[in-house]
């Protein structure tokens, strides 16, 4: 089907063969594995301190209620119970949990006490805290706390929540709307006026639970007025500042440590009430405390992700050229605004246009309060939602015009010679080559062969139909240029810090403000430093995740570590070399301008044999016996890097799905992902990030959903109900890369943490819909469980969508991996095919 086969284009972007001697580009096995595969880890829950007490939280079983009375006397009388505190007991010191992103000046930002005082607004909200001698005693005492709740109306449906006269989550605010944020570019009316093709759709981004494998945990100790808080967090630096702000404990008296952290995916990019309370308890009791959540507790109390209703209109010409796109979102905030809750959907505002050119674009997002767990960052954060919308629409457009979905994309995408390209959403994409990634993906996928098989199955009326899903995505990552964050009213900058210490023995310590929790910084950062400084990889140690050791940083999220923190490290290394060059010139009695640095050695230009290694220079600087005039006796250097632009990874993902039209069961037959993440420091780590990202994106398409009943009860509180896919539920992926270096940083890197998740969800759903097109199906709501696929088919066979329109999810509804027959039974509600409007 290929209308172009630009081999020459593809050749330019073939990943460069690694230099045999270079560390960057090498598939180093990870340093951090040594402790992780032997159990010599330091998870927060592993920490035992002398005199340590254990904390448990009593949580609201009701989604919305006034707290009429709490009687904790019986709990306090239980053996081994040191303290029981209610929200009222903590009211004077607990403050309000911070929201760092007031997206509009008139944004409604309700008070958010760590422990509820008068009213609870979601199931799982803390109402009391018990401190006891061990974790069993603490949990036992929870049952003895007696709370009288006066139920209030539960607000669970976003569309109803914004109707006139709706029940309110925060009665005092007078509205369930937190904000409305608008972005407009181009003349949308002109684009839609007389447009020959207009596609209108309503898609639902279901609510997801991030589910890092390590549940949250906090340990806090107070010695005098010095506090140390260990937390399973992605953001020790931000957490330190925010905890100081909330509690009034001075920032310089507080040290925050993120020890080994078992995954985050955005869920540990947060300032949680439990962290605040543990700090207050350590202060109040003068003894160290530990809190570790259970999974069932965490499913209710860790912030959730996604949860948008998207109303989309796309105008196009007959030849498939896009004229304009209108996006109208309702974004569920949950009951409160947490650290970056309101900003998450806005991270998608600049991405709905994807890789395509268009004349006009309009984006409106209304943040809505409901009586549900607050939402916030989850892998991709705003960009998966946007990418899903545009990539689904591109397939709908292709279908409308009778074109191949790739042809429609080719007619609209930015051609490689057009970079840098200013998009309709106001971003400048610096580099990319969508043609090359697509051509490579098509070859690996055997696109034409699969299309032929699809045609054959259609002709034969095979009960198992084959669908092909396309997703040609880009994303903005490397968060973020501080000036851009400022223009979006974000509360902080987006720089990152690194320092490099060359020890007297010549060994190197790298300190980074990025806080890894599975990404492999200890390996990749050592590769960068080893290359730049010309020292052995083994001689570099990377320190992170402790504000006492790494005092400056903006932490890890938004695929920013390498594109921002890696560049800071690169720059810090250069400063070390500059200092060492001056010292070497002095030692070699040469002019600084005649000193050349390569392979870890400083030599005098044109004088063979005259050289000093970096290690020799470091030792001389340490001894300080003979320094250049005015030279400080140290090579140590630091750098803070603020990116000038986002980075824009892109790629082409192709999914072939077999859909059983009798049972609704979906099997991913093959999945090809060709990603362009720019230059690569460690291809092994990059591939691993892509694999994991794909798994989470596919899980949104097929398996996962946080389900609430009509009273606001979360019915997917356990891993038995919320289906995180197992090895048996996922296919083997074919991954490859093209490489167009980022032009906005010296490493040429773009970031890879979220790409797989962003790209894969629409690829899978497009494949399912493609399989079912001949039956008249044009949408299946996510997650596309066997039941929902079956109902979508049943509805069109009966000739009409069932009433209600909205899908009725049920706990365990995502059990797509089981081979049993679908149908009602697993879930409580009735599914429907009515996702498209």
Partner 1 sequence: MPRVSVEVDGVRYDDDVEPRLLLAHHLRDRLGKVGTPIGCDTSNCGACTVLMDGLSVKSCSVLAVQADGHEITTIEGLGDGRTLHPMQRAFHEEHALQCGYCTPGMIMASLDLRRENADPSDEEIRAGLEGNLCRCTGYQNIVRAVRRAADDMRRSDQAEEAHR
Contact residues: partner 1, CB under 8 A: 29-30, 32-41, 43, 45-46, 48, 134-136, 211-215, 260-263, 265, 294-296, 517-520, 684-685, 687-689, 691-696, 718-720, 724, 726-728, 730, 732-733, 756
The string of DSSP codes covering 635-663 is --EEEEE--SS-B--EEEEEEEEEEETTT
Which residue in the block uniquely carries the two structure tokens 């429907």?
832
Comparing CB distances to partner 1, the nearer of 20 and 728 is 728
In the complex, least distance from residue 267 CB atom to partner 1, rounded to whole angstroms: 10
Comparing CB distances to partner 1, the nearer of 270 and 637 is 270
Print burial letters for 79-107: b (CB count within 10 Å at least 16), e (below 16). Answer: eebbbbbbbebbeebbbebbbbbbbeeeb
Which residue in the block uniquely carries the two structure tokens 């990404």?
519
In the complex, least distance from residue 521 CB atom to partner 1, rounded to whole angstroms: 11
Comparing CB distances to partner 1, the nearer of 661 and 735 is 735
Dihedrals phi, psi of 219, to nearest 5 degrees: -125, 140
770 with 395: CB under 8 angstroms?
A: yes
In the complex, least distance from residue 214 CB atom to partner 1, rounded to whole angstroms: 4
In the complex, least distance from residue 760 CB atom to partner 1, rounded to whole angstroms: 10
* Whole-angstrom distance, CA of residue 330 vs CA of residue 178: 11
* Whole-angstrom distance, CA of residue 115 vs CA of residue 92: 12
- List the end-to-end C-alpha distance of the chain, in Å, as a whole number: 32
* Whole-angstrom distance, CA of residue 805 vs CA of residue 651: 34
In the complex, least distance from residue 634 CB atom to partner 1, rounded to whole angstroms: 35
* Whole-angstrom distance, CA of residue 419 vs CA of residue 411: 16
Comparing CB distances to partner 1, the nearer of 454 and 696 is 696
Query: In the structure encoding, which two tokens stand for residue 667, read together?
Result: 């099997």
Comparing CB distances to partner 1, the nearer of 444 and 724 is 724
Does the bond joining 271 to the residue before it have cis omega, within 30 degrees of 0? no
Comparing CB distances to partner 1, the nearer of 464 and 724 is 724
Comparing CB distances to partner 1, the nearer of 491 and 692 is 692
* Whole-angstrom distance, CA of residue 49 vs CA of residue 438: 55
Comparing CB distances to partner 1, the nearer of 43 and 597 is 43
Dihedrals phi, psi of 560, to nearest 5 degrees: -105, -15
The string of DSSP codes covering 618-631 is HHHHHH-SS--TT-
| Residues ≥6 apart with Cβ < 8 Å to 135 | 54, 56, 290, 292
Comparing CB distances to partner 1, the nearer of 36 and 77 is 36
In the complex, least distance from residue 729 CB atom to partner 1, rounded to whole angstroms: 8
What DSSP designation does 563 have?
A: I
What proportions of the chain, in percent to the nearest 5, are helix, strand and coil?
Answer: 30, 25, 45
| Residues ≥6 apart with Cβ < 8 Å to 757 | 379, 380, 384, 693, 694, 696, 697, 700
In the complex, least distance from residue 221 CB atom to partner 1, rounded to whole angstroms: 18
CA-nearest of 259, 266, 263, 258 to 214 is: 263
Residue 332 bridge partners (DSSP): 368
In the complex, least distance from residue 677 CB atom to partner 1, rounded to whole angstroms: 16
In the complex, least distance from residue 467 CB atom to partner 1, rounded to whole angstroms: 21
Comparing CB distances to partner 1, the nearer of 29 and 252 is 29
CA-nearest of 222, 247, 221 to 94 is: 247
In the complex, least distance from residue 39 CB atom to partner 1, rounded to whole angstroms: 2
* Whole-angstrom distance, CA of residue 613 vs CA of residue 625: 18
Comparing CB distances to partner 1, the nearer of 40 and 69 is 40
Residue 678 bridge partners (DSSP): 749
In the complex, least distance from residue 158 CB atom to partner 1, rounded to whole angstroms: 27
In the complex, least distance from residue 700 CB atom to partner 1, rounded to whole angstroms: 13
In the complex, least distance from residue 691 CB atom to partner 1, rounded to whole angstroms: 4
DSSP H helices, 479-607, are: 482-487, 521-533, 567-587
In the complex, least distance from residue 572 CB atom to partner 1, rounded to whole angstroms: 26
Comparing CB distances to partner 1, the nearer of 25 and 834 is 25
Longest dimension (CA), the chain: 91
In the complex, least distance from residue 748 CB atom to partner 1, rounded to whole angstroms: 23
Where residue 240 falls (left for φ over 0; alpha for ψ -120 to 50; beta otherwise) is alpha
Polymer length of the chain = 837
In the complex, least distance from residue 288 CB atom to partner 1, rounded to whole angstroms: 15
* Whole-angstrom distance, CA of residue 43 vs CA of residue 33: 14
For residue 249, the Cα-to-chain-centroid distance in whole angstroms is: 30
Which residue in the block uniquely carries the two structure tokens 């599975």?
518
In the complex, least distance from residue 48 CB atom to partner 1, rounded to whole angstroms: 8
DSSP H helices, 26-130, are: 33-36, 73-76, 87-90
Where residue 301 falls (left for φ over 0; alpha for ψ -120 to 50; beta otherwise) is alpha
SS3 132: strand
SS3 387: helix
SS3 283: helix
* Whole-angstrom distance, CA of residue 237 vs CA of residue 258: 9
Residue 422 bridge partners (DSSP): 428
Does the bond joining 480 to the residue before it have cis omega, within 30 degrees of 0? yes
Comparing CB distances to partner 1, the nearer of 206 and 571 is 206
In the complex, least distance from residue 730 CB atom to partner 1, rounded to whole angstroms: 6
């Amino acid at each position: 089907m290929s209308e172009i086969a630009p081999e020459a284009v593809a050749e330019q972007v073939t990943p460069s063969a690694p230099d045999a001697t270079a560390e960057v580009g090498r598939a180093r096995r990870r340093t951090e594995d040594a402790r992780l595969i032997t159990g010599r880890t330091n998870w927060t829950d592993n920490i035992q301190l002398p005199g340590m007490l254990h904390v448990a939280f009593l949580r609201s079983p009701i989604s919305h209620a006034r707290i009429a009375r709490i009687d904790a006397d019986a709990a306090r009388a239980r053996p081994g119970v040191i303290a029981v505190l209610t929200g009222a007991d903590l009211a004077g010191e607990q403050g309000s949990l911070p929201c760092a992103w007031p997206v509009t000046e008139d944004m409604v930002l309700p008070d958010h006490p760590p422990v509820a005082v008068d009213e609870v607004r979601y199931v799982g909200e803390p109402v009391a805290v018990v401190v006891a001698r061990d974790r069993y005693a603490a949990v036992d005492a929870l049952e003895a706390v007696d709370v009288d709740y006066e139920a209030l109306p539960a607000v669970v449906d976003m569309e109803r929540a914004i109707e006139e006269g709706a029940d309110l989550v925060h009665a005092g605010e007078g509205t369930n709307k937190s904000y409305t944020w608008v972005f407009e570019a181009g003349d949308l009316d002109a684009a839609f006026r007389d447009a020959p093709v207009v596609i209108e759709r309503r898609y639902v981004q279901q609510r997801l639970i991030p589910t890092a494998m390590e549940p949250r945990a906090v340990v806090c100790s107070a010695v005098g007025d010095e506090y140390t808080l260990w937390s399973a967090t992605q953001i020790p630096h931000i957490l330190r500042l925010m905890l100081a702000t909330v509690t009034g404990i001075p920032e310089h008296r507080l040290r925050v440590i993120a020890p080994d952290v078992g995954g985050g995916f955005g869920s540990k990019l947060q300032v949680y009430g439990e962290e605040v309370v543990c700090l207050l308890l350590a202060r109040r009791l003068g003894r160290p405390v530990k809190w570790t959540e259970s999974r069932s507790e965490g499913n209710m109390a860790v912030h959730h992700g996604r949860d948008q209703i998207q109303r989309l209109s796309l105008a196009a010409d007959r030849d498939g050229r896009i004229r304009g796109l209108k996006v109208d979102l309702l974004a569920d905030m949950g009951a409160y605004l947490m650290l970056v809750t309101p900003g998450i959907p806005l991270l998608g505002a600049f991405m709905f246009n994807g890789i395509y050119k268009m004349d006009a674009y309009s984006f409106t997002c209304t943040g809505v309060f409901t009586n549900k767990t607050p939402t916030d960052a989850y892998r991709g954060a705003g960009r998966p939602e946007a990418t899903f919308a545009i990539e689904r629409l591109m397939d709908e457009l292709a279908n409308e015009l009778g074109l191949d979905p790739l042809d429609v994309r080719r007619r609209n995408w930015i051609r490689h010679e057009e970079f840098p390209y200013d998009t309709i959403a106001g971003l400048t994409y610096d580099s990319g080559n969508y043609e090359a990634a697509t051509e490579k993906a098509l070859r690996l996928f055997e696109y034409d062969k699969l299309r032929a098989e699809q045609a054959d199955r259609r002709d034969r009326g095979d009960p198992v139909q084959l669908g092909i899903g396309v997703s040609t995505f880009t994303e903005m990552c490397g968060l973020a240029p501080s000036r851009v964050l400022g223009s979006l009213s974000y509360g902080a900058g987006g720089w990152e810090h690194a320092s490099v210490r060359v020890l007297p023995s010549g060994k190197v310590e790298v300190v980074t403000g990025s806080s890894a929790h599975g990404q492999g910084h200890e390996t990749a950062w050592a590769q960068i430093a080893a290359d730049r400084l010309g020292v052995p990889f083994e001689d570099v140690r990377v320190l992170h995740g402790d504000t006492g050791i790494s005092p400056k940083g903006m932490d890890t999220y938004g695929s920013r570590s390498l594109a921002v923190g890696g560049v800071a490290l690169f720059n810090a290394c250069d400063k070390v070399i500059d200092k060492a060059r001056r010292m070497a010139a002095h030692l070699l009695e040469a002019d600084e301008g005649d000193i050349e640095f390569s392979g870890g050695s400083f030599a005098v230009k044109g004088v063979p044999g005259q050289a000093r290694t970096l290690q020799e220079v470091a030792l001389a600087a340490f001894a300080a016996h003979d320094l250049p005039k005015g030279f400080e006796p140290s090579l140590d250097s630091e750098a803070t890097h603020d990116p000038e632009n986002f980075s824009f990874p892109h790629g082409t993902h192709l999914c072939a799905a077999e859909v059983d039209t009798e049972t609704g069961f979906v099997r991913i037959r093959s999945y090809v992902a060709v990603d362009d993440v720019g230059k690569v420091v460690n291809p092994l780590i990059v591939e691993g990030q892509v694999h994991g990202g794909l798994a989470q994106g596919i899980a949104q398409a097929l398996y996962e959903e946080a389900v609430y009943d009509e009273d606001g009860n979360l019915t997917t509180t356990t891993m038995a109900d919320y289906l995180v896919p197992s090895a048996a539920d996922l296919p083997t992926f074919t991954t490859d890369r093209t490489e167009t270096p980022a032009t906005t940083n010296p490493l040429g890197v773009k970031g890879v943490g979220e790409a797989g998740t962003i790209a894969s969800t629409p690829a899978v759903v497009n494949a399912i819909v493609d399989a079912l097109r001949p039956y008249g199906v044009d949408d299946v709501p996510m997650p596309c469980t066997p039941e929902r696929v079956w109902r979508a088919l049943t509805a069109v066979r009966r000739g009409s969508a069932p009433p209600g329109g909205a899908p009725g999810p049920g706990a365990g509804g995502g059990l797509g991996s089981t081979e049993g027959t679908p149908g009602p039974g697993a879930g409580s509600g009735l599914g429907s095919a009515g996702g498209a409007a």
